[in-house]
Structure formats: C-alpha cells, structure tokens
Amino acid sequence: MKIVVIGLGHMGGNMALTLHAAGFEVLGTDVTENARNGMASRGLSVFSPEDALPSADVYLLSLPTSAHVREVIESSPGILRQAPAGSVIVDTSTSDPVVTRELAGKVVEAGLEWLDAPVSGGPAGAAAGTLGMLLGGGEATIERVEPMLKAMSSRYTHVGAAGSGHVVKLANNYLCAAHLLTTAEAVALAQRAGVEPEACLAGLNSGSGRSAVSEVNFPKWIISDTFDSGFTTGLMRKDLRLARDAAIGQGLSLDLLSQVVERWHAGLDDLPDSADFNHVTDAILRLAQG
C-alpha cells in the first residue's frame, strides 16, 4: 500500500514515520521546508507541495483546520484533480464536520473514497502506533485501509457515515477541555484543605471522578511541570469553537459547553495559542496557593 502523508507536523510527521517503519511505502509533504527536511533526515521520502502529487492508494491528511483540508483537496491542482480513481482520502485532522461532509461528497463524486479518522493520543501515540481513532465513512473503505489503521492505532471505532468521526472527536475534546478545568478546581480545593495534589490525584484515580485528564495529563505534564504534550492551546480553542458551532448548527443550546468555550478563550492570563494546552490549569491551580 502506497501512502502519501500531507502535513508533517507533530502528528503527521510521527504517523508517517510509524507507517514507514511498519513497511508501507510512504511519501510525505508539508508547506514548511523545515518539516520536510526534518522528516527527510529521519529517512522519510519527501516531496514539495509544488511538485505534482504522487500517485498513491491512500492520501493521509494531518492539517491544522478544515480550511487547510479544503485547500489540499480542492485547490488547483489538488487531490481531486490529481489522485488516481479509487484512492482513499483519510483525514486525521480535527476538522469541521459540516465541511467534512461537503468534501466527502465531492471526493466520492470524483471516484475516490473518503474516511474521516481523527485521532487521540498525541505525538507520542502517533510515534508508538497506539492512537485512538474515530472513523466516519463506509465499512468497505475501512476494510481497504485496515492494515494501515492497525499500524497507527491500538483502538479504532467506526462511529458512522462520513463526518461522524469528526462529530465524535469534537464531543471528545469538549470533555477533555472541561475535565482540565474541573480537575484543576478539584485539585485546588483539596490543596487549600491541606491535601497534596499527588495524594488528591491518587484518590481521584481510584474513584468515579477519574478521567484521562486525571490519569494522564496531571501526572505526565502538569504536576511534573513538563508541559510538553505537543498539543497547543490554539488547536484546543479551534476544537471548542467547532464543537460550539456544531451545537448551534443543530439548534442545541448547551450552557456548559458555552461556558467552557468562554473560559478557554478569556480569563486565562492571556494564555497564548502557542502554549501547551495543559497550561489552561495554571490560573486555577494558583488559587490553591492563596
């Protein structure tokens, strides 16, 4: 199976290397020369976005937003005009489901196949081939690319037709963003009452308040003061805006979601988009110190 990876950043670069190491023929590209050179120095074959798109069985996208995904698919000359009939577009980005459904329709109309496959697990999961994946698309398409999915993911879940993977990914990231705020408040409460954060987390993780945030984010990136998860505040803000827009688009008024979006965008000591997303807990945890 020949795979072209478009977007060699934190996630795409690691996915490309994992697929290459698993024996797939992989070619990668990125608009940033640094990203291309970095991957080439680690043994990956790269090409410039200005070159003709190489023929492949799968085009794996790992791009910041739906606007970038639209550009690589629809621009001239984009995937729609250059990819061979029957090839599969797999969008692992966290994208806007409305745009995804529109693009998936155009892709299928052009004789290609579509799968949305947003991921969880960060750059470390991408490097280890242990990502969680949420799949939106047809069963037959999933079967066609299953060897590739198995090399990237230890757990992938088919959640529905095209766009469904992106819908569930937004729901997931809403919960993660909320858990960061609520777990920080729980830890601050315990600390003010004389319980050390480590002891508080050990207790939470043996009880019903635990989550990936209490089990992974707090020990690995927050309490350890490393803040090197490879996922930025800006990307989480994008995901939250998409989740809010998806709710509004469905005529749903979700008060807690609105509050979480608001909190992540304001009242966080001007936390820059480039900061590690775990820094969202800083202001709350400082409250515990008085």
Please give the residues from 100 up to 119 whose contact with ligand NAD meets the rule CB under 6 A. 119
150 in active site:
no
> Contact between 165 and ligand NAD (CB under 6 A)?
no
Q: Please report how close the Cβ of residue 249 comes to ligand NAD at its closest, in angstroms.
A: 19
Cα maximum dimension of the chain: 64
Catalytic, out of 2, 106, 150, 169: 169
Of positions 38, 47, 49, 219, contacts ligand NAD by CB under 6 A: 49
Q: Using only C-alpha atoms, what is the Rg of the chain?
A: 20
Q: Which single residue brings its beta carbon nearest to ligand NAD?
A: 9
126 CB burial (10 A radius; 0-12, 13-18, 19+): buried
Query: Is there a contact between 5 and 28 (Cβ–Cβ < 8 Å)?
Result: yes
- Of 26-34, 37-45, 213-221, 252-260, the window that binds ligand NAD (rule: CB under 6 A) is 26-34
Q: Please report how close the Cβ of residue 22 comes to ligand NAD at its closest, in angstroms.
A: 19
What SS3 state is found at 267? coil
Q: Please report how close the Cβ of residue 278 comes to ligand NAD at its closest, in angstroms.
A: 11
CA distance 69 to 242: 15
The dihedral formed by the CA atoms of 204, 209, 214 and 216, expressed in degrees to the nearest 10: 110
Of positions 5, 8, 39, 58, contacts ligand NAD by CB under 6 A: 8
- Of 17-25, 178-186, 192-200, 229-237, the window that binds ligand NAD (rule: CB under 6 A) is 229-237
- List the beta strands (DSSP E) in the chain: 2-6, 25-29, 45-46, 58-61, 88-91, 113-116, 119-120, 131-137, 153-160
Q: Please report how close the Cβ of residue 153 comes to ligand NAD at its closest, in angstroms.
A: 12
The backbone torsions φ and ψ at residue 85, rounded to the nearest 5 degrees and listed phi first, read -55, 140
- Of 8-16, 81-89, 134-142, 241-249, the window that binds ligand NAD (rule: CB under 6 A) is 8-16
Q: Which residues bind to ligand NAD, rule: CB under 6 A? A: 6-12, 29-32, 35, 49, 62-64, 68, 71-72, 93-94, 119-120, 122-123, 230-231, 235
Residues catalogued as catalytic: 169
